[in-house]
Each structure stands twice: as structure tokens, then as C-alpha cells.
Amino acid sequence: MSRKATNKRQARKLVNDYFVSRCAPEQFDVRREMRLLQGGSRLRGVLAALAIYLGGFAASYAAWSGDHITYELFYKMTWIVLLPATVVGVLAWQLRFNRGESAVFRRLANAMRQVEGEDGFLWRFGPLLQAGRPEDYDSKTVINQSRAGQLDAVEPEDYARAIVNVHSLLNDGQSTAQWQRGLADVEANISGSGPPT
């Protein structure tokens, strides 16, 4: 019994090592990168809004202290300046976030093309995903497109999610019979005896 369990663990380790060496799944886990991008872009938006507001406030204060405007107009100006400051802050936030997001997605698309290569890669792990997460329809769609060689139809974030899902399945401690059959099918796909259909 222990010999068979050791072989199952070795098979999982070999498949996991092949998966990690071929695709480096940490480059596809972009949740942290997107969180940092979101925070940084919000900060830039707040700083842009603050700069606009402080500039408007300083101009109205200088006009009031020089007796060019009344106190009531100065009071109104401090509130009116909030509108353009808010608009500029939101625009700066959205522009920064969209630029950063497009750079992340371009990097993901390049990594996806590099990992898939000529013969495809992710379709080989389809049986494992079917056994471990049968309800994950987005990853199944990506795997079917990988099998068909239709990388242009794959969204980079869907591909990244599928890579992360397969990697987490390989690192899970599942040992059901269906999962073991899926792992055996993945081994057959990797060795080349499994059909790409």
C-alpha cells in the first residue's frame, strides 16, 4: 500500500515539476500586482486632485488677501474648486490604472503565447481540471481553445486564472479515484500518447 501511495505522490510531483518548469505559474498570478496597481493609481488620483485643489485655494486666498474679491466669493471659490479637482483626480486615477492594466495584460498575452508554443500546453491538463473542478467553465473553455490552437480567442486573464487553477489542483492533497484517473490522463498527455482531441 505504501509503495502505491509513494508512486502516486511521485507521479503528482513529476507532473507538478513539469508544469512549473514549463509555465512558471507565479507569473500568471496577477492578483497582487493588480492590487498594487489599483492602490498606486488611486494614490496618484488623490495627489492630482489635491494639487488642483491647493492651486485653486491658493489663488483664491491670494485674491482675497489682496482685497480683489470679497470674503463671500472666497468662501464660494473654495467649494467651487472641489469640482475640477475631483474630475482631474478621477481622470488621473483611471488613466493610470488603465495604462497599468493594459501593460499587465500585454505581459500575460506574451507569456501565454510563449507557454503554449506550437503544440499547445494547457489542454494537456484538461482531465485534471475536469476531475478537480468540474464546475469551472471558464477554465474548460480556455483548455478547449488551447487544444484547438486558438490563442487569439483566449483572454489573457482567463488563461492566467486557468493556470493558477491547475497549479492549485496539482498542489492540493486530493486522492480520489476520479482525480487519480485525471492525473494518469495528464501523464499520458504529457508523454505524447494522449490524443489532443
> Does residue 79 share a domain with residue 34?
yes
> Does residue 125 share a domain with residue 161?
yes
Task: Output the pTM of the full model.
Answer: 0.73
Q: How long, in residues, is the chain?
A: 197
Cβ neighbours around 39 below 10 Å, total: 11
Query: Tens of pLDDT along 145-191?
Result: 888 888 888 888 888 888 888 888 888 766 677 777 777 888 887 87
Distances (CA, A) of 139 to 112, 127, 133: 14, 12, 9
Burial class (CB in 10 A: 0-12, 13-18, 19+), 145: buried
Confidence grade of residue 130 (pLDDT, cut at 50, 70, 90) = confident
pLDDT at 194 over 70: no
> Does residue 134 share a domain with residue 88?
no
Give the residue from 86, 115, 144 where a domain finishes.
115
Residue range of the domain that includes 141: 117-192
Distances (CA, A) of 12 to 3, 18, 107, 127, 142: 14, 10, 29, 14, 23
Domain count, the chain: 2
Distances (CA, A) of 120 to 27, 56, 143, 181: 18, 57, 9, 22
Q: Which residue did the predictor score with more confidence, 118 or 65?
A: 65
Give the residue from 115, 148, 179 where a domain finishes.
115
Query: Tens of pLDDT along 52-70?
Result: 999 999 999 999 999 999 9
